[in-house]
Structure 1
């Protein structure tokens, strides 16, 4: 969760050495420089954290089908049927509409374009093999993959920067606004803090959706479905039901839960540190960061399965549910949508919600036995539950860096 201190300049540092008069613009210039320097700093942080974000997303989204579960032959047929349903959109309605409007010449051009689309879609994209655990092994596998390489580790960095800056600027402002509305004069009230995080998190959830799709999109695909952050957002609006596609319940509900749970856990950890254990950074320079890190690890352990569920749902492209949505795609000038090729294998069977993702990961994934079909229900439960925590270390590193920045900025305020 971005920290306010990463963007907003230190209020004490903004005080000039002399009193500002109506003809002086010293304070404005100083504040502008502070904003620019801190925004550049935030972009560098987003850029440097990108490899961890990419490896975390790949680990959490990749469908690592258990060999024990794969022994069900009927499940394989279900995967094939669902794969055709979720990745390809039907064009039968479009053909009826265009036959009334197009001339023979236009029909011929359309057939040529469709053949080209089918030709592009028939190209098999080699996906990254089953990623290992830990921090550096997945990054090494991504770099070694011929179709991805080290440039893939930078995917989504600009979108991450936009999200962090927007969140960091808007959340404290909205929290202060809520404090004024409810006449709250405390430095930090848990109710308005959690409420502001939740509202801003839901409002900016389309940027998280865009970041996940850009990261998971295969670099090797000949025709990219998303060419950038704004094109991705525009494509979702055109193909998935307008603005309702960006704020669909399947995206908003997980964002609501996550951005409510994350600040609540941080407030509980702060209460344990300051009020229950009575630890402070000044008087307990060793014990305070140690306990704080353990509490942070506990927070990440609770949040990681939710993060996995969110990202898997974000990767699912919504099939048009009405004739109007299908005609929107025709008006955009496309005969058929470009297929969304992913860098790692994703589940072809769509998920219905957070609990469905957690249940299916436990039942379907995680068995590492070399012999196909070897294992039992207990081992499958263990490996499946363990699979829910893929990306744990990447999230912990990211949260730890955010916490360290906050502590450093708080210490600089004391000076």
Structure 2
């Protein structure tokens, strides 16, 4: 049995099944079974790895965060956060664009998903911005790029994917905490470039509201913000684990939307749970089969081969990181971010460790780098969603993205060069990093 043939079977069957439009979980599982059959790996070992992947305590926080996000979205909390953001910063030049960036930061603390951000917030903010007099390409660019804040601001599903795929006993709570300062940096950077463009193009100032209206908006929004604070403060202060924070936040969101806002009915709750179950089922299947796929990668020593190849090019950690980032950027143009995290983490994580990188710092770099793929054609799911909402073709709006691409890359470079941006907060709080 040849290792090279095993690698060809593993990746060849995966690519073939993906090209045939099979679900990624099915493609990962079948590729692992074909490879195991060739290598003589007992199927019991693969199934055991699949079961282990979804029964770990680390994974337990996922269903709670999914339910919490769905309740908050369907319960109208995201709408209240938008109005709250408008009260804070809406009365400046290009205020609606700044609101877009800020509410995406808040929404990142709810959904942890870029596509969810664009689909929900963008559905009313993009048309609103165009109606106010903003150019369509600018409105789409602001919405899509700011939505990526959600992939690094906890609770981030993508960070959970990274921790599970790394399989090295990493802490979800610590991984979450590394995302707060970089998420804030990205938000401020995107707001800055949005404001500069708004000044140059003389975009409008948002309509002024009365003090009475503002007080009502703030009071209602603060109740919803407590849900985010339960996750953020609870984890940061060490009061809750990520799993406990997700469970408590989900219960709190249900109480607020059902008994205070009164926007959540039993019928709507059942719909929320059904939507959450569908999402959870998809994620569980991907994580289970990716665990078997990772086992085959380790068995074939693929991470070692990749590490040796990169080190043969250069033993410099800086060059190694640059090569890995280039690889992730290129692949991100053609494959979905979640899939790439599942596939690349078992390969690149050991490589990064051999170069001496911090596992949490590398995880943040990996998530942020792959997040760029959400904004770039041809796959860019967030880009496509924004264009679909505005009913504009990508080729007509891509020029508006250029200043935001540059800003995004500058933030990524800063985070790579200065690890303290991501590691200083968990270190200050006494977390082992």
Same fold (TM over 0.5): no
Q: How high is the TM-score relative to the length of structure 2?
A: 0.32
Of structures 1 and 2, the one scoring higher in RCO (CA 8 A, sep 6+) is 1
Q: How high is the TM-score relative to the length of structure 1?
A: 0.33
Q: Which has the larger radius of gyration?
A: 1
